[in-house]
Amino acid sequence: MKVTKIAVVGATGMVGRTFLKVLEEQNFPNCEYTLFASAKSAGLKLPFMGAEYEVKELTEASFDEGFDIALFSAGASTSKVFAPIAASKGCTVIDNSSQWRMDPEVPLVVPEVNPQDIAKSKGIIANPNCSTIQAVVALKPLYDKYGIERIVYSTYQAVSGAGVKGWDDLENGAKAYVAEEPFEPKKFPHPIFSNCIPHIDVFLENGYTKEEEKMINETRKILHDDSLRVTATTVRVPVFNGHSESINVELKEPFELSDIYALYNDFPGIVVQDDPSTDLYPLACSASGHDEVFVGRIRRDFSVENGLNLWVVADNIRKGAASNAVQIARYILEHKE
Ligand SMILES: NC(=O)c1ccc[n+]([C@@H]2O[C@H](COP(=O)([O-])OP(=O)(O)OC[C@H]3O[C@@H](n4cnc5c(N)ncnc54)[C@H](OP(=O)(O)O)[C@@H]3O)[C@@H](O)[C@H]2O)c1
C-alpha cells in the first residue's frame, strides 16, 4: 500500500500545534509527515507521534519531494505564494488562511455541510473562518428543512483566534492587572483583559470589519445561496479558547421547537446542551478541547414570524480550524481511488 505523504505548514503556530494533536488522535494508517514553518523555526524539534520531528524551513523547493496533502496554517501571504506551488506539484492543499476562501475556483468546505464540494477541488481547498464553521453547522439542518430568510450573527470570540500573540495579550494583561502594572497590548488595538472589543480584523469602507464580511460571504458560499440575507457583529472577548455566538435566524417556513431539537439530535457533529432548569447551555470552557458544535438556548424569537434564537459554541482552534481541515483530509483519503 502506497504511503500518503502529509505536510503540515505552520506547524509551530496555534493552529499548527493543534493539527499535530488532532493528527495524533486520528492516527491515519500508512502516513508520513513533514513539518514546516518559517526560517525562524528551522531545526526546532516538536514532539509528534511519539517521536521528535525537526521543523523544516518552508521554501519553494519544499514540495519537490511529492506530498499528497498539505495542511496549511501559516497566514494568507504564505498561502498565496506556496499553496499554488504545492498544488502545481500534485499535492492537495487544505488551507486555513483567508487567502483562497472566496476564490470561485476553490471549494470552501465544512464536511458536515458541503462535503460534495471537495470533489470540485483543482488542488486547493479552503477551510472557512472559525466563526463561520460553527455557525453553518448549526444552520445547515434548518436551511435544508425550512429554508432561511435572514441571519443575524453576534459573536463572542476567544483570543486564541488571534494566534499566539492574541493569547499572550490576555495572559499578560491579566498578570499586569493583578500586579497593578501598566500594560501595552501587542496584538489587539486595546487591552483585552476585562474588556470586549467590537473589532476583529481590519475595518472596511462600509463600516463593517473584515471578520464580519467573512462571516457573511462565507455563509452564502458554503450554503450555495448568494441571495441569503446575513448581517454580523463580531466581538473579541477575554476568553482564552472557544468562540460563542448568538444566532438569530428567520426561517422561511413555520416550525415546532420539538422538531428543531429532533433535527439537531440527528445531525452529525452537533451536541444539544439546553436545559434551563439545570443551568445547562453551551459554554466556551466546556467546548474547548472538543470537535463538536454545541447548541443551546434554543427558543422562539417572538418579534418576527418564524424567528429562532440559538447560542452556538465550539472550539475555534479545533472545529474552527485544525479538526475541520483534518476531517477534509480524512474525506480525501477515504474517497481516493
Ligand atoms: N487561531 C485560529 O482560531 C484560526 C482559526 C482559523 C484559521 N486561522 C488561520 O490559520 C493561520 C495561522 O493562525 P495561527 O493562529 O496558528 O497563527 P500563529 O500562532 O501566529 O502561527 C503562525 C504560523 O505560521 C508560520 N509562518 C509564518 N510565516 C511563515 C512563512 N513565511 N513560511 C512558513 N511558515 C510561516 C509560523 O512559523 P514560525 O513559528 O516559524 O514563525 C507559525 O507556525 C492564519 O492564516 C489564521 O488566519 C486561525
190 catalytic per annotation:
no
Query: What is the average per-residue pLDDT within 99-112?
Result: 98
- With a cut of 90, say whether residue 13 has pLDDT above it: yes
What strands lie across the sheet with 56-57, from one edge to the other? Answer: 56-57, 31-37, 4-9, 69-72, 92-95, 124-126
Cell digits of residue 326: 483534518
Ligand 1: distance of its center to the CA of 227 in Å? 33
Domains and CATH numbers, the chain: 4-127+321-335 (3.40.50.720), 132-316 (3.30.360.10)
Among protein residues, the one with the nearest Cα to ligand 1's atom 15 is: 163
- With a cut of 80, say whether residue 112 has pLDDT above it: yes
CA angle 235, 230, 196 (to 5 degrees): 5
pLDDT of the residue at 9: 98
Residues 266-288: tens digit of each pLDDT:
999 999 999 999 999 999 999 99
pLDDT of the residue at 175: 98
Ligand 1: distance of its center to the CA of 104 in Å? 24
Q: One of 31, 199, 243, 285 is an active-site residue; which one? A: 243
pLDDT of the residue at 126: 98
Residues 6+ apart with CB under 8 A from 147: 251, 252, 253
pLDDT of the residue at 251: 98
pLDDT of the residue at 336: 79
What strands lie across the sheet with 307-314, from one edge to the other? Answer: 229-236, 148-157, 243-251, 307-314, 293-301, 270-272
pLDDT of the residue at 308: 98
Give the total residue count for the chain.
337
Q: Point out the ligand 1 atom lying closest to the alpha carbon of residue 82.
A: 32
Secondary structure letter of residue 206 according to DSSP: T
Residues 47-59: tens digit of each pLDDT:
999 999 999 999 9
pLDDT of the residue at 337: 63
Q: Which residue is listed with cell 509527515?
A: 33
Ligand 1: distance of its center to the CA of 197 in Å? 22
Ligand 1: distance of its center to the CA of 96 in Å? 9
pLDDT of the residue at 217: 98
130 catalytic per annotation:
yes
pLDDT tier, 2 (very low <50, low <70, confident <90, very high otherwise): confident
pLDDT of the residue at 196: 98
- CA dihedral sign, ordered 205, 207, 210, 212: negative
Does the C-beta of 163 come closer than 6 Å to ligand 1? yes
Does the C-beta of 81 come closer than 6 Å to ligand 1? no
Q: Which residue is listed with cell 417572538?
A: 302
Q: What is the pTM of this model?
A: 0.96
Among protein residues, the one with the nearest Cα to ligand 1's atom 35 is: 38
Helix, strand, or coil (residue 213): helix
Share of the chain above pLDDT 70, in %: 100
